[in-house]
Chains A and B, each alone.
Chain A
Amino acid sequence: LAKTTQPISMDSYEGQEVNITCSHNNIATNDYITWYQQFPSQGPRFIIQGYKTKVTNEVASLFIPADRKSSTLSLPRVSLSDTAVYYCLVGAHPYSSASKIIFGSGTRLSIRP
C-alpha cells in the first residue's frame, strides 16, 4: 500500500478556503485517493474520492495532478464545524479484489473565529 505524507496540523479562520496537500509518491496505477474526516469522539467519515484531475461534491474538492504523486483536499469557506482531523488514504481500488484500508496520522485542522 502506498504511504502518504500530510501536514500534522493546520490553522485557518472562518470563511477562508483551506487546502490540505497529501504526498503519495509510490501510488500504484490502480490506486484511488480517498479522504476521511474525523470529529472528536466519533469515527471517521468518508469525504471524497478520486483517481485523477478534479472531483467535487457538496463538501469538498479534490485536486490530483497528472503524475498523481500528490493530491489536495480543498474545503471552501470553512466554518468552526470543520475543525477535525483529515486523513488521506491511497489504495483499496473500488471493485478490485478487496484490500484493507490503512490510515496515516492525518492533519489536525483548527478553525478559528
Chain B
Amino acid sequence: GAGVSQSPSNKVTEKGKDVELRCDPISGHTALYWYRQSLGQGLEFLIYFQGNSAPDKSGLPSDRFSAERTGGSVSTLTIQRTQQEDSAVYLCASSLDPGVTEAFFGQGTRLTVV
C-alpha cells in the first residue's frame, strides 16, 4: 500500500495483559514515530527511530512500554501489564530520511483496557 498501515485498528484487552501494536511505514521512509493520543487531547510523543541510529525513547511513559523496529521497516510497540490509563489511540508516522519534516500518519490503533 501507499500509506502507513497500522494493525489492529481496534484492540480491547484486559488489565494486566500484554499487547503488541504494529506499524508498517511507507516504503523507503527511514524515520518512524509513535505517538499516543487520549480522547480530546493532543499527540504525546513516545519514541522515534531514525535509520540505524539508536532510537529516541525519551517519550516512553514507563518501562512497561517498549518498541522495536526490525530491518529498518516494520515497527512493533509493546505494552506490558496494561493499565486502564493506557487506553488511547496509538498513532504511527513515517517520514523520509534525512530529517524531512513531512510525516505521514497511519489511522491509528484504538486501545481499550478494561
Contacts and interface: CB of A to CB of B under 8 A. Distances in A.
B102 A43 contact: no
B42 A92 contact: no
A15 B23 CA distance: 38
Contact of A103 (B42, B48, B101, B107): B42
Contacts of A46: 101-104
B42 A106 contact: yes
A83 to B, nearest CB: 15
Q: Is the interface of B mostly helix, strand, loop or mixed?
A: loop
For chain B, give the interface size range: 20 to 34
Interface stretch (A58-66, A67-75, A93-101): A93-101
Nearest to A33: B101
Contacts of B103: 44, 46, 101
Interface residues of A, number: 26
Interface stretch (B70-78, B79-87, B90-98): B90-98
A28 interface: no
B105 A102 contact: no
A49 B45 contact: no
Given A87-B42, A100-B56, A105-B42, A95 B102 contact: no
B58 to A, nearest CB: 8
A8 to B, nearest CB: 10
B99 A95 contact: yes
B31 interface: yes
B93 to A, nearest CB: 7
Given A101-B33, A105-B42, 6 more contacts: A44-B103, A46-B103, A95-B99, A98-B31, A98-B99, A99-B99
Interface of B: 4, 31, 33, 35, 41-43, 45, 48, 50-51, 53, 56, 59, 91, 93, 95, 97-108
Interface of A: 32, 34, 42-46, 49, 85, 87, 89, 92-106
